Amino acid sequence: MIETNILIVGGGPAGAMVAKYLSLDNVDNILVQRNLNFKKPCGGGIRLDAFDEFDIDKSLIQKYVNTIGLVYKSTKIEVDISKFPLAIVDRVSFDERLREDAKEVGTEIYEASFISLEIHDDYVISKIKKDGKYIQIKSKYLVAADGVNSKIRQLVNGDKVSSSLTNYMDVVESNYDICEFHFGEEVAGQYYAWAFPHASGSNIGTLAEKNSKYLFNLLNNLSITEKNKVLGYSIPHFENNIFYKNRVFFVGDSASQVLPFTYEGIYYAMSSAKILSTVLINKEEPQMYEKKWNKEHYKKFSTLKKLQNFFL
């Protein structure tokens, strides 16, 4: 049996930032990440001001984006965002650096799989599998930062993160320098599609569930002839949010704290992590996490969701 104050499951931006802030304040914690080389299928866009806000090395930035494009058939509207530009990062190296930052200030990191948990009145016992061996970890609290397919959420709350499946393709021969959102039945069904800069090349995708015809229509409209494997992943919806239950905190995708249409998912994951860390460091009542998050973000999220629904 290993003991720690806080066990964090999931080593993406949300989990890594919780770990870093806790360690900076000498709060004992362990971070568990199933695969330290995992590449999340994500465009890698982050608000540039996040690098200063969260003290992240700007050398991780691969590209800068100063324009957002809204495209419907032959009509295109460009929006200047140069006052608040978007930075593009490679998610493997970016996530790795965030975990290393946490490790340097005291976080213990395990490459292991989360298996199960037992919730008691004053603590949680989690079982993980590391190097073929099962290990139990006793912690005062558990932080679920395990993403849109959160196993912890299923075990604790009995539900899944509400999400939609995307189809996307990474292409290296076409380099976009703006983020384009595409609309219309032909390329996006009732949703939206995109063409975003990527760390190497571009990320082209559509939120049209399982039918890949929309993606190929989009590629054709963009005159992209390069063929790569069509991949898919789930994008969470901003609904059925959960912040805390039975000694378990939820953060990032697992908490449904993401509104993908804003292209700022990584930023909000890290911001949520900072809010949660403050509550844990100050030993505040767990319910303060949701209250502080709502004060910081709920109004903007609600407004943007209404605009998104109206626009779509």
**Residues contacting 246, CB < 8 A, separation 6+:** 119, 156
Output the pLDDT for position 123: 98
CA dihedral 25, 30, 34, 35 (to 10 degrees): 50
**Where residue 308 falls among pLDDT bands split at 50, 70, 90?**
confident
Structural tokens at position 167: 């189809």
Output the pLDDT for position 211: 76
Residues of the chain with pLDDT > 70: what percent?
Answer: 96
- Euclidean distance between CA atoms 25 and 6, whole angstroms: 13
Task: Determine how β-strand 67-72 pairs with β-strand 75-80.
Answer: antiparallel
Q: Which amino acid is at 110?
A: Y
Q: What is the pLDDT of residues 98-143, one digit of tens each?
A: 999 999 999 999 999 999 999 999 999 999 999 999 999 999 999 9
Could you give the C-alpha distances from 4 to 23, 54, 137, 140, 285, in angstroms and in order? 12, 25, 7, 7, 19
Output the pLDDT for position 41: 67
Tell me which DSSP letter residue 295 carries.
I
List domains and CATH numbers for the chain: 2-34+87-162+237-311 (3.50.50.60), 164-234 (3.30.9.10)
Could you give the C-alpha distances from 233 to 163, 207, 246, in angstroms and in order? 10, 10, 29
Task: Determine the average pLDDT of the residues in 227-249.
Answer: 89
Output the pLDDT for position 236: 85
- Euclidean distance between CA atoms 287 and 264, whole angstroms: 25
Structural tokens at position 96: 């790795």
Q: Which residues of 188-198 are buried (b: 16+ CB within 10 A; e: fewer)?
A: bbebbbbbbbb
Closest C-alpha to 270, from 304, 293, 300: 293
Question: Contact, 207 vs 192, CB < 8 A?
Answer: yes
Q: Does pTM top 0.85 for this prediction? A: yes
Output the pLDDT for position 132: 95
Could you give the C-alpha distances from 192 to 78, 134, 189, 195, 222, in angstroms and in order? 16, 43, 7, 11, 15
